[in-house]
Amino acid sequence: MRATIFVKLMYTVIFLSLMGVTTVAAETEFPGLDVYVIGHHAYVAGGTSGLYVVDISTPANPKRVAAVDTPGEAKGVFAISSLVYAADGSAGVQIVDVSDPTNPRIIGSVETPGEAQGVYQLYDLLIVADGSRGLQLIDNRNTKPLTGVATYDTPGETHNVYGLASMVYVAGSGFGLGIFDVIDRFRLDKNGHFVVQPNR
């Protein structure tokens, strides 16, 4: 009888210990879907948890110093100077002022017709990977308000985007990689080139 009681007590202690570990992990971990680094700070898209700011001045000891709750699901992020653009799913793109990285503030937003999953600034444009609605081009010369200027279809769902010089690169399901030529600061060649079946 005493042995049985002892075993039950041991199981209880072990269970409570595991519960404590799980609780600590839940409190200290946070999701990361995308990241962009400027200076000593990393800006992390944290899904439904919004946007995180992490101090990386000491790489061996990164510290989360701030967070801002976005209205959607932060899936992609791009930062330049004191502004961060968060691709926020069904809530479009959120503009966050990080002039004080310890106190990020949403100062504007722009809706997109799809699910914003990635964002990149090229020239005066924000290029948004907008899920099933392809690429959205947004005039970024004035943050209040931002306005859409063009839409470009892709043969699948777009997830991320990158711009360099005269090219825009988009990754997505159903086509792998797409490449668009930049015609001018507000237009792409509507006939993108897609690697629908990449060579293995």
Per-position pLDDT tens, the chain of length 200: 544 443 343 333 333 333 333 333 344 567 899 999 999 999 999 999 999 999 999 999 999 999 999 999 999 999 999 999 999 999 999 999 999 999 999 999 999 999 999 999 998 889 999 999 999 999 888 766 777 888 898 999 999 999 998 889 999 998 899 999 887 767 787 777 787 554 54
Sign of the CA dihedral with 183 first, then 186, 191, and 194 last: positive
Q: What angle do CA 176, 179, 180 make, to 5 degrees?
A: 145
Quick one: 172 exposed, middle or buried, by C-beta within 10 A (0-12, 13-18, 19+)?
A: buried
Domain with 39 in it: 31-111
Domains in the chain, number:
3
State whether 1 and 73 are in the same domain: no
State whether 124 and 190 are in the same domain: yes
CATH number at 47 reads 2.40.10.480
State whether 117 and 107 are in the same domain: no
Q: Please check whether residue 81 is in contact with residue 90, taking contact to mean a CB–CB distance below 8 angstroms.
A: no
Tell me the C-alpha distance between 127 and 121, whole Å.
6
Q: Look up residue 11 and give its amino acid.
A: Y
Tell me the C-alpha distance between 109 and 61, whole Å.
33
pTM, full prediction: 0.81
Q: Please check whether residue 108 is in contact with residue 115, taking contact to mean a CB–CB distance below 8 angstroms.
A: no
Helix (H, G, I), strand (E, B) or coil at 200: coil
State whether 14 and 38 are in the same domain: no
Q: What is the pLDDT of residue 28?
A: 53
